[in-house]
Structure 1
Amino acid sequence: MIHLIAAIAILAAVQVWGDRLGDTWYVPLCAATAAVLLLIARWDGLSRADLGLGAASARRGLRWGLVLAGAVLAVYLVGLALPFTREAFLDERAAGLTAGELTFRVLVRVPLGTVLLEEVAFRGVLWAMVERRRGSTWATAVSSVLFGLWHVQPARGLTRANAAAEAIFGTGPTGVAVSVAAAVVGTALVGVLFCELRRRSGSLIPPVALHCALNSAGYALAWAVAHG
């Protein structure tokens, strides 16, 4: 149990103190935190296969990952083409980026920062630790709840940055609180999907591919709408 507590404590510390380091340190911090979590997992006796990093499941994981990434892109393009869903792509966080900043975010910050840390942490280390002790149902529940809570801080600015969220929730204190709660619940449900992909495939590759496609393609299309 001490290993699980240590992993959660490290993630909590990164969430609380990470923003103070600034954007320059974001990717190195995420990579370093993922490495520390993997060391804790090995200290706990977990193998690469336990963590979804085994070679035996990699080929199956790659097949799943390609299909999932393609499906995300297709859904995004349909959403972009329909007038009543296009507003969801109006996001100030993407609109304010230069072409160089967008390229860095899509190809470096998202895959090597956000996705690397979150998938290693929530679908790799935490899921494997709980699964070994309590089974896959508990592993998915604990991992997904923590994944939802992990997004409390970024969700606080959602209504100011996204036009669709502002239209639904407004920008007052109550609207912000409701939007944060909705984001936490929604992210936790996405976490359940990611965990199920990891369980069924035996690999971290499918949730990594889906996560990258959702975030990177979302930024790219939001930027394209803003500059189109």
Structure 2
Amino acid sequence: MRAGPRAPADVAWAAGLAVLLAAWNDLGVPRLPPRAYVPVNAAATAALLAAARARGTSWDELGLDPRRLRSGARWGGTCAAVVGAGYAGALAVPVLRPLLSDARVTGLDARGLAARVLVRIPLGTVLWEEVAFRGVLPPALRRVLRGRRADAVAAVLFGLWHVAPTLQGLAVNGLAAAPARRVGAVAAACLATAGVDVLFAWLRRRSGSLLAPALLHLAANDLGALAAAAAGRRGPGRRVVAAVWLSDEQGHPKFG
């Protein structure tokens, strides 16, 4: 979709989304109790979809056209398989295994890990982020900006989305205690996740379905959590990779 005449309502909608998504993960969610993470994000997903539909955004623009599900499953499933193979390979190589460890995961019992993998990540993180960043945001931005500019804004917002979660991940894992290193680590994570947004957005456009990036996102986070749990049970190590890959999870130092 190419940007046409910029109607004030379209500008207000796009700007409101940008402000909401820039602030949500870094200002709002960290103040929520852990148990509120999934219901609040699930409710926000439903509200955002309802608002987008009320604004006239089609199901196809949102990536939710049922006719594209098969394409989305094919693309997303292939990418998820590649991610799974990567984690399996890292676990199989002793020198790489410690890099997958994450204190937020190794501190969980079996029930807590299952809740994270089956509920928290799919419903609280993947569903919300994919609907917001790859479903609702792109058509809103493309009504007021040209294609590449719209893509750049979306990528920057997804990078900023990860500031607070990355800081929490670093703190829980005892990494980057020095302020300069902490700033560098956060900047690197934001750049990396902005790049991830570019990949996910391309996958969404190529497949025509939101299911494709959602499956890749789910595989990266869920399989990452399982790999971190497996690596943690095989011995301690430097917790670097998982702290970045799982950084879109709002981490809590204390599990209960």
Fold match by TM threshold 0.5: yes
Select 2:206's aligned residue among 195, 200, 203: 200
Report how many residues are paired. 223
Write out aligned runs for 1:50-199 (5 A): 50-162=61-173, 166=175, 170-199=176-205
**Which residue among 213, 216, 222 is the counterpart of 2:219?**
213
**Aligned-residue RMSD, C-alpha:** 1.6
Q: Secondary structure at the match of 1:46?
A: coil
- Give the secondary-structure state (helix, strand or coil) at the position aligned to 1:128: helix
* Unpaired runs of at least 5, structure 2: 1-10, 235-256
Deviations along 1:139-193, one digit per CA (max 9) or x if unpaired, are 3211111000000001113334447xx3xxx421111111000000011001110
Shift in Å at residue 126 of structure 1?
A: 0.6
Using the alignment, how far apart are the partners of 1:87 and 1:162 within structure 2? Answer: 12
Uncovered stretches (5+) of structure 1, i.e. residues with no partner:
none
Q: Partners in 2 of 1:2 and 1:128 — Cα distance?
A: 14
Aligned to 2:229: 223
| Structure 2 contact 155–194 (Cα < 8 Å) conserved | yes
**Greater relative contact order: 1 or 2 (C-alpha under 8 angstroms, separation 6 or more)?**
2
8 Å Cα contact 2:158-2:197 kept in structure 1: yes
- Contact kept, 8 Å, 2:98 with 2:231, in 1: the verdict is no
Task: Select the structure that is richer in helix.
Answer: 1
Q: CA deviation at 1:12?
A: 4.3
Change (3 A) 1:56 1:139: farther
The TM-score, its normalising length taken from structure 2, stands at 0.82
Q: Using the alignment, how far apart are the partners of 1:201 and 1:131 within structure 2? A: 19
Separation in structure 2 between the aligned mates of residue 133 and residue 4 of structure 1, nearest angstrom? 8
